[in-house]
Structure 1
Amino acid sequence: MPRTRAAGAHGGFTRAVGPDPTRAADGGEQTGLAEPAGDETRTTEHGSTQWDPAAAPDTGELLDRIEIGHRIDDFDLLTGLGSGAFARVFLARQRSLQRLVAVKISADHGTEPQTLAQLDHDYIVRVFDQRLMTGIRTESGRRLRLLYMQFLPGGTLLGALRWVRATPAAERSGQLLLDAVDAAMEEKGEIRPTDSSVRAELAELSWPETVAWLGSRVAEALEYADGHGVLHRDVKPANILLTAEAVPKLADFNISFSRNLDDASPVAYFGGSLSYMSPEQLEACHPGDSRSAADLDTRADIFSLGVVLWELLTGAKPFDDSTAGPGDHGDRTTLEAMLDRRRGGVEAAALERVPPDCPAALRRVLLSCLAPDRDKRWSSGGVLAKQLEMCLDQRARDLVDPPPDSWRRRLRGWRIVIITLAIGIPNTLASLYNIGHNEALIVSRLTEDAQRTFTLVTTTVNGLFFPLGLVLITYLGRRVITVPHGLKRGRVFDPETLRAARADVLLLGERASSVVFTLWVLAGITFPISLRLATGEIPARGMLHFLISLVVCGAIAVAYPYFIVTFFLVRCIYPMFLRHGDISADDAVWLHRLGRRCTSYLAVAASVPLLAVAGVTFLPATDIPHVIVAVRVLCVGGIAAFVVVYWMFRELEADLSALERVVDPGRSIRAAQDRDAETET
C-alpha cells in the first residue's frame, strides 16, 4: 500500500460535522480488543478474523501487521483507504451499529480527538468516537488509538486533481468533478446518488465556478474552526474529502493547534506539507528564522487554501516547488528557495495558466489569498467564503470586477462630475419650467416695481439656496468622494470607516433628493411671501399657481436625481467596497431598504406628467393657452424620462438582489423560501 498520508486517502484525520461530538469512550480507557471467546483467531460471523498482535507475523511495525479482514474491537476491516508514516485508515463495518465507518488506527499521540471534539460543522468530516487499546502498545510504548468517523465515498480533491491534469482546460466543468467522484465511488462499490439537486447544480457550473464552489465551503470550515480556536496548518488536496454529491469536507487535524486545550502547544506536532505552506509557516519551519509556530493564525490556512484552489483551477501550483519532494521536511536551502518564490508573488508563468473563462473576480480573490504579506490576505475564512460565493453569481461578480473596458470602471473616476450633473440638470430643467410657468401666469401681470422685486427675490434666493445645497450634499457625500479615491491608491481604511462609506454610498441618492426637495419647499414659500410683503400684489390665485408649479418641480427635482445618482453609485461605486471584504449583515439590510425606497421614488417619477396635467385643470380657461406648450413639453419629456427611470429601476432591482446575495447569502435564501411559501399558499 502506498505511503501517502493517512488522511490523504480518506480523511483519516478529521473534524466533527454532525450532531455527534467527538468523545473518548469510557473516559478514554476502553480496551481495544473484544474479549476473546474460545479461539482468538476464529472467523467472525462477518467473515473477519479477530486480530491478535502477538500471533501476527513479526514483519515490521505493529501498524504494518494489521491486515484487511481482521476485526479490531467493534470493527471489521473491509479495505484500506490510506496509510502514512503515523497511521493507517480502513473502511470498516461497525458491528454494533451495522454501519460503514472510516477507522484511523494510530499511536495515541497528539490532540486530534480533543480538537475534533470542539468542531461540529457541515464541511468538516464528522468523527463519531475514539477507542484506546490499553492492552496493545506500539514499539514506542504508546497505546493504539482507534478514531472512527464518517465514511465519505467520493475520494479526495487529490484524486479529483488527477482528473483535472488529465483533462484539457477547455473540457473542464463541474461535470468533471462529478466524474472524479463517481470513479472513486465505483472503486469502493458505492452507487451514485440519483435525483440530487447538488449534483445537478454542479453539472451546470463552469470549472472556475466549480473551484469557487468548493473553496467557499472549505473557507466556511476554516472560519468555523478558527472561531473555536483551531488552526488546521495542513490544508491540501489530500485532506479535503468529497461526499457522494461532491460536497467537500475538511479532514486531518493531526497537526492542528487548538487554543482552547490547556495542554496544547503551537509547536507540538508542528508540520504540514511544504508546497502548500504560507511564507510565515515556512519561516516557522526554518531553523534560522525567529518566527515560531505560535505566530501563525488563520491567514496561514487561507494561504494554503489559495494554493489548493489555484492548483485545481490551473492544474498546477502557483509556485514551482519542484525542489520540495513529497516526503521532504525541508532543509535550509529548500526552505529559503520556497520563501523567495512566495515573497515574489505569483509569477507570470503561473498567471498564464489561468483559464480564459476564469472570472476576474476569482482571479483577484485567489491572488489575495496568495499575498506574501498576510495583512493583505483575507482576514478570515468567512470573508473569503463570501468572496468565493460572489464569484458564483455572474451579475454580482461583474459588478464587483467589471471588464477592463467596461464603462462602469471608466466612470468611477468621474463620480463628482456625474453626481453634480445628475442633481444639477434635473433641477435646472425644473427651475426653467418654474420660471416660465410663473412668468406667464403671475409675474407678467405684476407692476414694473413688483417685477423688479420678484427678480431681486429670485436672484437672492437662488444665490443662497444653490450654494447651500451644494455644500450640504458635498458634506453628506464626503466619504463617497474620499474613500474610493483612497482605495484606488492603495490606502488602507479601518472597518468602521469602510462601513460608514458604504452606508453613505447607498444613502446619498435619497439624502441629495431630500436636500433638494427641502430647498424647493423653502423657495416655494419664500417667493410668494416675499412678494406679498413687498408689493401686496400677489392674489390668492397667484399663490395657488406657485403651489402647483412647486409640486411639479419638486417631483422632477426629487425623482430623477435620486434614480440617476443611486443607479450610478450602486452599479459603479458600492461594488468597489466588496473587493475589500469585512462586509456585514447590515449591508444586506441597507440594500433591502434601498430596493423598497426605489419603488416609492418610481411612483414619484411616474406622477410628473400626471401632476402637470392635473395642475392645468386648476387654471381658468383663459390662462391655459399661456402654459399649454410648456405643459405638453413637460408631459412628453416626463413620459420619456419615466421610460428611462423604469429601466434604471429594473436594473437596480437586479443589482441590489445580486449584491444582497453576496453580502448575506442566508438572508437571500430565507427570502426565496418565503416567496416560495407564499406562492404555494
Structure 2
Amino acid sequence: MTSADFADRGETDPISRFTEDWQCCLRGDRNEPPPIAEYIPDGTKVRLAVLTDLVRIDLRHRWDREGLGKRIAEYRKEFPEVEHSAELVDLLCEEFLARRRYAPLELADFLAEYPELAQDVRVRLAGYADDDDDTAADTERATALVAGLAPGHRIDDFDLLTDLGTGTLGRVFLARQRSMQRLVAVRLSAGRVAGGHSMAQLDHPHLVRVFDQRLVTASTAEAPASTRLVYMQYLPGGTAAGVLAERRRGPESEGGALLLRAIDAAMEARGEIRPSDSSVRAEIAALSWPETVAWIGRRLADALNYAEQHGVLHRDIKPANVLFTAEGIPKFADFAARTAAPRSASNPLAAEPDSLPYRSPEQLAELLDPAGPSPGPSSDIYALGALLWELLAGATPFDDPPMPADPDARAETIATMVALRERGVTAAALRELPADTPSALLRVLLECLRADPQRRWRNGAELAAQLDLCLDERARELVDPAPTSFAHRSRGWLIPILALCVGVPNLLASVYNINLNNSLIIDRMTAADQERFAAGGLVTNLIAFPIAALLLLFLTRRPLTIGFRLARGREYSPRTLAAARRDTLQMGDWAVWVPFGFWLIAGVVWPLAPVFFGVDLPRATFLHFYAAQVVCAAIALAYPFFPIMVYAVRSIYPQLLVRGGVGAEDEEQLRKLAKRGNFYLGVAASVPLLGVASATFVDAADLDLVIVSVRVLSVGGILAFVLTYRLFRMLEADLLALARAIPQRKR
C-alpha cells in the first residue's frame, strides 16, 4: 500500500504524518514526541512494515535528543509484533549506531543485551562498517553483480523496474518495494559507499528522503558478493541536467514555464502524468527565468544549511544530483561525505569529469595535492553558485578546457581550472546572463564564486536569505539599486544629507523663535539689556551647537564610517556589522532627540543667563520663552526623522544587509522602527496645535504681535505634515520589504 492508497481511502500516510509531527517536536511546536501507537494502521496488510518504519524514525530522532533515547528492547515490549519483523536485526544495528554517536559503547557490551541475535547483529554491523569511512572498497565480484542487474530482476525486497542511470555513488533503478508496495529509487553500489546511513538521518523538504540502506549478499558465478543497497524517495521530474538541456534549447524569456516544460518532458519519458492542479506549478509559471533560478537556489541552499547542521556535506553538487518532484520542487540527492570524513585512498584525479566544473578552487586543488587543507562547507556554497549560474546563463561561469579521458593526464587541466577560478568571472561570462537578471541575483552569485572561501556566504542560511531577497522586487531594488539611481549615488553623502535634514527644520524653528521672542520680549528691553540678552544667547549657541554636533557624530560613527569603508573593500566581523545595522536604524532617533533635548535645556539656560548678568525679566517672560522653545523642540523632533530614515534605509542600511549575518534580531529592529514612525508622525501632526496652544499664553493686547508667526507656523506645519505623511508611508513600505528579506527562524 502506497501513500496514494492511504489518500484514496481518505487517510494520510502515517509515516509522513509521524515524520512531520516529529519535526514539530524538534522545532519546539510540540512538547512531547508523537506516540507511535496513534500512527499504526489497523488491520492492513502492511501494518508490520509501517510499524517497523515508525520505530526506525522514532529511534533516530530520540537518540538525537538528550534524555529521550529508547532501546529496541523497549519497543519490543510495547509492540510485541516487532519481534516478527524481518528488519529486527537492522533495527538493532540502528540502535547500536545511534547510541554510539550519543556516548561510547563497546560492541560486546551491546551484543550482551541481545544474546539471541548477537551473531546476526555482528555480521550485519560488519557490513555497515562505519559511515565515517569514505573509502570505496569495491570488489570485482560486486562490481560485476551491479553491472549485470537489469529491469525485471529482483534483489532483496525490491523489483527493479527502470534503469535511472549511473552516478558517482552507484547505479540507480526505479523499483517497487514489495513489503510496502511503494515505488522507490534504489541505488546499488559495490562495497561500502558512504552516504546512505548519514542521509537516512536527514529529514528536510529539499533533500531526497533516504529511507534506509542494507548490505545485500547475492551469488555470482564465482562466489557470493556483498552489494550496498540504499533505497530512497522516487522523484519523477527528472534532474537539473534536463532543465539545463531545455534552457539551452528554449528562450529564457519563457521564465518558469521553461522549468515546467523540462519536468513534464522527464515525466512523459517515464510514463508519468503531470499534476493537473498545483499551486506550486502556478507559482513557478508566474516567475521570470532569473526569479526561477533564485527560487530553486533558495530551496537548495536551505537544504545545504540543514545538512551542514547535521554534520554532513554534499561535496558532489552537479546537475545530476538535483532532482525535481512532479510539481517542480528541487531536492538534493547523493550527499557524499560527513564533515569529518577522511580522504579517499583512491586516485583523486579519477573524479567524475561531470563534477569538476562545479567544484571550488580548493576542491580542485585537493585533487592535485591530497595532503593539502581539506575543503569545508563553503565549497558546497561555491558549487551551488556555479550550478545556479549555469542554469541562469545556459553556460558555466568559467571557460574550462576539455577534460582528458585518462585520469593521469588531468593534472594540467585541473591546474588551469584552478587558475581560472582564482581570476574570477570574466566580462564574457557576464554578457551571457539574461538581460533581465536583477543586480541582486548577480551580486549573490558572484559572492558564491569568490576564490577565497572566507569571503563567500558563511552558510546555506545566509545564501537562502539573499536568494529570498532576489524574489522580492521591492526589496531587491532597495538592496541593489541601479548605479544611476539617487539611492546608489548618494551613498557617500551621509554627512551632508544628515546636516541638511537636521539643519533645515532647526533653522526654521530658530527663525520662528527669534521672531516670537523679538515681538514679546527683546523689543521691550533697554538697549543694554538687549545686548546682555544677545550675548547670553550667543554664548549658549556657541556651546550648545558644537556639543550637539559632536554628540551626533559620535552616535552615528558606525554608519558614517563602516558603509564608506565597505564600499572600498574593507571587511568587518558579523558582530561589528550587526552593531552598524542597529545604529543605522537609530540614526533618525538620535538626530531628533539630541536637538530636542538641547532646545529644552536652552529654554531654561538662555533666559537665566541675562538674569545672572543683571537683566530684570518679568516672570511672564520666562513662560513665553519656554513655550516658544517647546514648539521649536517639537519641530526639531518631528521633521528631520523621516527624511533621515528614508535616506538611511534606502542608501546606508542595504550595504550592511547584503554582508550577511542577519537574523531575527534585525527583523525585530525593522519592525520596531516602523512602530516608532507612528510616534513621530503624531508629533508632526501636533506642531500646528502646539503653536496655537502657545498663543493662549500671550496677553490679549499682544496677540497682534504673534498672530502672523502663529499663522505661518500652522499653515507650514500642515504642509510639512502632508510631506511627512508621504515619507512615513514610503518608510513603512521599505521596512516591510526589508523585513521580508531577513531570514526567518524557520523556513
Distance in 1 (CA, whole Å) between partners of 2:677 and 2:142 is 77
Partner secondary structure for residue 453 of structure 1 = helix
CA apart distance, 1:221 = 1.2
Partner of 1:208: 290
C-alpha distance 526-84 of structure 1, shift in aligned 2 (>3 A):
closer
Where does residue 256 of structure 2 map in the other structure? 174
How far has the Cα of 1:251 moved from its partner? Answer: 0.6
Q: 2:428 aligns with which of 346, 349, 369?
A: 349
Offset at 1:529?
3.1
Moved more, 133-142 or 387-396: 133-142
- Residue 168 of structure 1 aligns to which amino acid in structure 2? P
Q: Does 1:245 align with 2:245?
A: no
The answer on 1:550 being equivalent to 2:629 is yes
Q: Residue 343 of structure 2: SS of its match in structure 1?
A: coil
- Among 305, 314, 317, the alignment partner of 1:223 is 305
Aligned residue for 2:570? 491
Question: In structure 1, what residue type is equivalent to 2:275?
Answer: P
Report if aligned partners of 2:356, 2:364 keep a CA contact under 8 Å in 1.
Answer: yes
- Listed as ranges, the matches of 1:291-440 within 5 Å are 292=372, 295-324=374-403, 331-440=410-519
Structure 2 CA distance for aligned equivalents of residues 486 and 546 of structure 1: 45
Look up the match of 2:74. Answer: none
Q: Distance in 1 between matches of 2:314 and 2:695?
A: 74
Residues 532 and 84 of structure 1: CA distance in aligned 2, closer, same or farther (over 3 Å): closer
Distance 1:649 1:449 in 2: 47
Note the C-alpha offset of 1:134. 3.0
Tell me how large the CA RMSD over aligned residues is. 2.6
CA–CA distance in structure 1, aligned partners of residues 302 and 236 of structure 2: 22
What corresponds to 1:660 in structure 2? 739
**Higher relative contact order at CA 8 Å, sep ≥6: structure 1 or structure 2?**
1
Q: Give distance in 2, aligned partners of 1:92 and 1:485.
A: 59
SS of alignment partner, residue 81 of structure 1: strand
Q: Using the alignment, how far apart are the partners of 1:508 and 1:182 within structure 2?
A: 52
Q: Which runs of 5+ in 1 are unaligned?
A: 1-16, 32-57, 670-681
Q: CA shift at 1:584, angstroms?
A: 2.8
Q: Give 2:674's aligned residue.
A: 595
- How far did 1:298 drift? 1.0
**Partner residue of 1:256?**
337
The amino acid that maps onto 2:337 is: S
For 1:659, the aligned partner's letter is L
The offset of 1:222, in angstroms, is 1.2
Secondary structure of 1:489's aligned partner: coil
What one-letter code is carried by the residue in structure 1 that aligns with 2:715?
A: V
Give the equivalent residue in structure 1 for 2:657: 578
1:265 aligns with 2:346: no
The SS at the match of 1:132 is strand
| Deviation string, structure 1 residues 413-445 (Cα, Å, up to 9, x no partner) | 111111111111111111111111111112222
Contact conserved, 1:175 with 1:203, CA < 8 A, in 2?
yes
Find the counterpart in structure 2 of residue 152 from structure 1: 235
Residue 183 (str. 1) matches residue 265 (str. 2): yes
Does structure 1 residue 122 correspond to structure 2 residue 205? yes
* Distance across 2 between alignment mates of 1:107 and 1:621: 103
Point out the more displaced range, 636-645 or 188-197: 188-197
- Kindly provide the CA deviation profile for residues 251-272 of structure 1, in whole angstroms up to 9, marking residues without a partner as x: 112x32332xxxx413367645
- Residue number among 174, 190, 197 corresponding to 1:107 in the alignment: 190
Structure-1 separation of matches of 2:692 and 2:257:
60
Partner SS for 1:106: strand
Tell me by how many angstroms 1:208 deviates: 0.3
- Check whether the contact 2:197–2:213 (CA below 8 A) recurs between aligned residues: no
Q: 1:266 to 1:663 in 2, by over 3 A?
A: farther
**DSSP-derived class of the 1:412 partner:** coil
Cα drift, residue 279 of structure 1: 0.9
Aligned residue for 1:51?
Answer: none
- Post-superposition CA distance 1:446-498 (Å, at most 9, x none): 33333222112111111110111001001111111111111111011122211
- Looking at structure 1, the residues matched to 466 and 405 of structure 2 have their Cα atoms a distance apart, in angstroms, of 31
Give secondary structure in 1 for the equivalent of 2:678: helix
Q: What is the CA–CA distance in structure 2 between the aligned matches of 1:107 and 1:30, rounded to whole Å?
A: 24
* Structure 1 residues 128-169: Cα deviation after superposition (integer angstroms, max 9, x where no partner): 112221344798975112211111111111111111010123
Deviates more, 1:488-497 or 1:317-326: 317-326
Change in CA separation of 1:155 and 1:29 when aligned onto 2, cut-off 3 Å? same
Percent identical pairs in the alignment equals 50
1:65 aligns with 2:153: no
Amino acid at match of 2:343: P
* Aligned counterparts, 1:424-573, within 5 A: 424-535=503-614, 537-573=616-652
Deviations 1:375-396 (A, max 9, x none): 2221211111111111111111
Per the alignment, do residues 497 and 197 of structure 1 end up closer, same or farther by CA in structure 2, a change over 3 Å counting?
same
How far did 1:29 drift?
A: 9.9
Q: Which amino acid letter does the alignment assign opposite residue 256 of structure 1?
A: A
Pair 1:162 & 2:245 matched: yes
- Structure 2 residues not aligned, in runs of 5+: 1-18, 23-52, 61-85, 94-140
The answer to whether the aligner puts 1:647 opposite 2:726 as a matched pair is: yes
Deviation at residue 315 of structure 1 after TM alignment: 0.4
Structure-to-structure mapping, 1:628-647, within 5 angstroms: 628-647=707-726
Q: Report the alpha carbon displacement of residue 116 of structure 1 after superposing the two structures with TM.
A: 1.0
Cα 1:634–1:140, aligned 2, differ >3 Å: closer, same or farther?
A: farther
Amino acid at match of 1:274: L
Closer, same or farther: CA 330–658 of 1 in aligned 2, 3 Å: farther
Q: Work out whether residues 88 and 105 of structure 1, in 8 Å CA contact, stay in contact via their aligned partners in 2.
A: yes
SS in 2 for 1:109: coil
Match of 1:43 in 2: none
Residues 97 and 484 (structure 1 numbering): CA distance in 2 closer, same or farther, change over 3 Å?
Answer: same
Alpha-carbon spacing, 1:559–1:372, altered in 2? closer, same or farther (3 Å): same
Where 2:163 maps in the other structure, the secondary structure is strand
Please give the alpha-carbon distance, in whole angstroms, between the structure 2 residues aligned to 1:141 and 1:109. Answer: 15
Residue 317 (structure 2) pairs with residue 235 (structure 1): yes
Give the conservation status (yes or no) of the 8 Å contact 1:62–1:138. Answer: no
Q: 1:578 to 1:67 in 2, by over 3 A?
A: same
CA distance 1:136–1:525, change in 2 (3 Å): farther
| Matching residue's letter, 1:474 | L
Following superposition, the deviation at residue 108 of structure 1 comes to: 3.4
- Quick one: structure 1 residues 149 and 422, their matched pair in 2 at CA, closer, same or farther if it must change by over 3 Å? same
Residues in 2 aligned to 1:196 and 1:655: alpha-carbon distance in whole angstroms: 32
TM-score for both structures, normalised by structure 1: 0.86
Distance 1:642 1:330 in 2: 74
Give the superposition deviation at 1:190.
2.6
1:504, 1:620 → 2: CA distance?
Answer: 46
Q: Is the 8 A contact 1:446 1:537 kept in 2?
A: no
The separation in 2 between residues aligned to 1:374 and 1:211, in whole angstroms, is 23
Report the TM-score, using the length of structure 2 for normalisation.
0.78
The one-letter amino acid of 1:258's match is T
- Distance, in Å, in 1 between the alignment partners of 2:222 and 2:428 is 48
